[in-house]
Amino acid sequence: MERCDGKIEIILENHIPRNETIIKKIYHEGVFKVSPTIHLDDEKIPCYFLMHMGGGYLEGEHCYNDIHLKKDTRSIITTQTPTIIYKCLNNIPAKQFTKIQLEENSVLEYIMDNTILFKDARFDQETDIYLDSTSTLILAEGITAGWSSDGKPFQYKLAKMKNRIYLDNRLILLDKLMLSPEKNDLFSMGHFENYLNYGTAIIIDSRIDLEFVENMREYLQEYDIDVKYGVSKLEIPGIVVRALGNLTQNIQKIIYGATNYSRQKLLGSSKLDLRKQ
């Protein structure tokens, strides 16, 4: 392992007599903290907020997350606030590495606030997710261009976000985004196409089929906002939602619309309110 400036380890297990998800281990060190168990609704699904005590990533900072849901567990894990990346004047990126393991019949809603990259920021994020064929993953994340004094867009230097998802130890999705405003015109075709910000959701569950995908597309059409988005079915039972827009809150309406639709139809749960405002 490289130098570690912050680390979180979460292991959840099922308390069999009550059929309830409980903590087996929660550990944090350095600039990372994790909240106590919080219940957001009547379902009593345990929720944990990940916190960066420094307010954001500094140049060269390395942080690690290790999340493990054992058999028959369910949890919501989210960030307390957007992840902020500050300037990297020596061209050394801040890095975040995450490993997630979902055992049989486990359910994880991994809802990350957007990553905000300020002028001269460099960020490298890698996430490895290991799923069982009976587990469910609902993931959301995105990128927002931070404010700059001259008002010009895309003042950050580099953003790399890579998700590797394995199903029964077989790689089924390699999802890689690399944005380099110095080398590419991000307003061009094939990049952000006159939009500033980006969001994505990845949902994997054995019950997702073409009908589910079509119904979600119809559901998202009800949002009358200036966001360009698409819903794509994966080769395995799962979908990817991409959204481009200028206002992060509008992007999140689409992304959270997709995740809430999924939790309602797949899990029988109501709309998720993370109460961050």
Contact assessment for residue 187 and residue 244, using Cβ atoms and an 8 Å cutoff: no
Closest to 176 measured CA to CA, from 135, 139, 131, 124 = 124
Q: How far apart are CA 32 and CA 172, in angstroms?
A: 30
Helix (H, G, I), strand (E, B) or coil at 19: coil
DSSP 57: B
Q: How much is the pLDDT for 276?
A: 61
Helix (H, G, I), strand (E, B) or coil at 133: coil
Q: How far apart are CA 241 and CA 122, in angstroms?
A: 25
Q: How much is the pLDDT for 44?
A: 87
Nearby residues of 150 by Cβ (< 8 Å), 6 or more positions away: none
Q: How much is the pLDDT for 176?
A: 94
Q: How much is the pLDDT for 29?
A: 94
Q: How much is the pLDDT for 186?
A: 73
- Name the H helices within the chain: 210-220, 248-267
| Ordered DSSP codes for 190-231 | TTTTT--EEEEEEEE-TT--HHHHHHHHHHHTT--SSEEEEE
Q: How far apart are CA 171 and CA 256, in angstroms?
A: 26
The number of C-alpha atoms within 13 Å of 97 and in the hemisphere containing its C-beta is 11
Q: How much is the pLDDT for 275?
A: 65
Question: CA separation (Å) from 148 to 2, 60, 67, 157, 180?
Answer: 32, 21, 35, 13, 17
Its pTM stands at: 0.94
Q: pLDDT 10s per residue in the chain (277 long)?
A: 567 899 999 999 999 888 899 999 999 999 999 999 999 877 889 999 999 998 899 999 999 999 999 999 999 999 999 999 999 999 999 999 999 999 999 999 999 999 999 999 999 999 999 999 999 999 999 999 887 777 777 889 999 999 999 999 999 999 999 988 878 767 766 677 788 899 999 999 999 999 999 999 999 999 999 999 999 999 999 999 999 999 999 999 999 999 999 999 999 999 988 866 5
Contact assessment for residue 20 and residue 4, using Cβ atoms and an 8 Å cutoff: no
Q: How much is the pLDDT for 244?
A: 95
Q: How much is the pLDDT for 2?
A: 64
Q: How much is the pLDDT for 190?
A: 65
Identify residue 117 by its one-letter amino acid code: L
Chain position carrying tokens 């990259």: 117
Q: How much is the pLDDT for 3?
A: 73
Q: How much is the pLDDT for 130?
A: 98
